[in-house]
Chains A and B, each alone.
Chain A
Amino acid sequence: MANIKELKMKIKSTKGTLKITQAMKLVSAAKLNKAQQAITTTRPYANELNETIKAVSALVEDYSHEYLNETENKQAVLLVISSNKGLCGGYNSQLGKEVKKFVSETDLDLKVFYIGKKAKEILKNNVNSGKQFDFEGMEPTFTEMQKIGQELATMFKTGEVGKILVAYNVFQSAIEFKPTIKQLLPMSLDENEKLELQNKFPFDFKYDPNPTEILDTLIPDAFSTTLWTSLLDGLASEHGARMSSMDSAVKNCKEAIRSQTLKMNKLRQAAITTELIEVISGAESLNT
């Protein structure tokens, strides 16, 4: 049975942990706020951009862009966006699970690239690991992400790989995210989607100056924007996941402190009672 001293030590260290988790929760909440704002303000632009490209490329015939062309090449790159730090609940492990599932089902020859260290730790035994991208500061910038995008796009353009995919957690709310794998390149539309769009827009747009020039400028822009939103989604989900896991850690700490204090008090009372009995029975024996 644990003695009082041991319990006291335990309570003290749990209180220390409580302070840390509480602070981490606050920090994550602040970061989440910022990240959430970033993703919610970028999303409408990204969605609208993709919609426009889809509509225009479905309506325009005989248009080809190097980002749209399907290839026979089975080589593919999967970019997994995870976090550098742990203590964020199922954020990395759920994404890892999704990637493992995808890898076992696909017929592509995948090479996995990483943003964030944690996914590599989870996946390194299951997949063919490639490069790891790092950011200079704590907060990644659009330019840094654009560079990564350019590197990936070059691999695609030179024919080194036939597909570029990205795996990340889609931010849904502060306590909810969804691991997703999305194809970035080629940005091709399947025939059904094309027909659907053609039915939706039974007219053609008037283009100024011409559809080719518009698509030529929009498509590379859409590629980097999509990549950027995936990263923002990942960041917001990470902070959300960390905040909720720290919240439950705080609750657990409080509960542990409560139960340990109770146990300690019980032990202390028992010790006092035993001592009293000893004193009283000693005095009794003197009287007789």
Chain B
Amino acid sequence: MGNFTVDILTPAKVIAKDLPAESLLVPTVKGQINVLVDHTHIVSKLETGMVSVFGGANDADKFFSVSTGVCKVLENKIIILTNTSEEKIDIELGRAKKALEYSENMLSGSESLSEDDFIKYTRKIERAKLRIQMASFKG
């Protein structure tokens, strides 16, 4: 079975470049999709979640968190553009827990939040929960 490559790009960093993969799981707004070699061309909107890159026999499996963005599949080259992304091994469980606690406090706090702040903290909670979930996930 042939392979394809995966790029994960964020505005702050190139998270992964030409990562060899045999199978890929991507969270999209309509649910998780599985991409295999010679997949049809798609452009899909991402949902906050975990991208799993399965390397097959020769390469290691890798897991990344992603937030909003798009995923483009074009001729066995998959490009994921997202605002933030982290590889599973880089996730610090303690930091994620702290962030979750902090954001939840902000949301439940007595101070009234602006609409932008509300969205910001809701997203933060989403990401923190994902990180915690990923850190405890044994892939």
Contacts and interface: CB of A to CB of B under 8 A. Distances in A.
Contacts, number: 65
B42 A206 contact: yes
A212 B15 CA distance: 28
Interface residues of A, number: 25
Interface string A219-244: 00000010010000000000000000
A213 interface: yes
Contact of A45 (B11, B29, B43, B68): B11
A137 interface: no
Given A208-B29, A209-B30, A214-B70, A45 B9 contact: yes
Contact of B70 (A46, A201, A206, A218): A218
A214 B11 contact: no
Interface in B28-53: 28-30, 33, 40-45
B41 A208 contact: no
Contacts of B70: 52, 214, 217-218
A214 B45 contact: yes
Contacts of B68: 217
B43 A217 contact: no
Contacts of A46: 11
Contacts of A41: 12-14
Contact of B11 (A206, A213, A225): A225
B66 interface: no
B81 A52 contact: yes
B45 A42 contact: no
A49 interface: yes
A280 B66 CA distance: 91
B72 to A, nearest CB: 6
B79 interface: yes
Contacts of B11: 42, 45-46, 142, 225, 228
Given A52-B81, A208-B29, A44 B14 contact: yes
B10 interface: yes
Contact of A213 (B41, B45, B79): B45
B81 A208 contact: no
Nearest to B33: A208
B12 A207 contact: no
Interface in B42-87: 42-45, 68, 70, 72, 74, 79, 81
A175 to B, nearest CB: 24
A205 interface: yes
A52 B72 CA distance: 8
Contacts of A203: 41
6 contacts: A45-B14, A46-B11, A203-B41, A208-B42, A208-B43, A217-B45
Interface of A: 41-42, 44-46, 48-49, 52, 56, 142, 201, 203-209, 211, 213-214, 217-218, 225, 228
The 10 A-B pairs of least Cβ separation, nearest first, read A208-B44, A45-B9, A206-B42, A205-B43, A205-B41, A41-B13, A45-B11, A44-B9, A207-B43, A44-B14
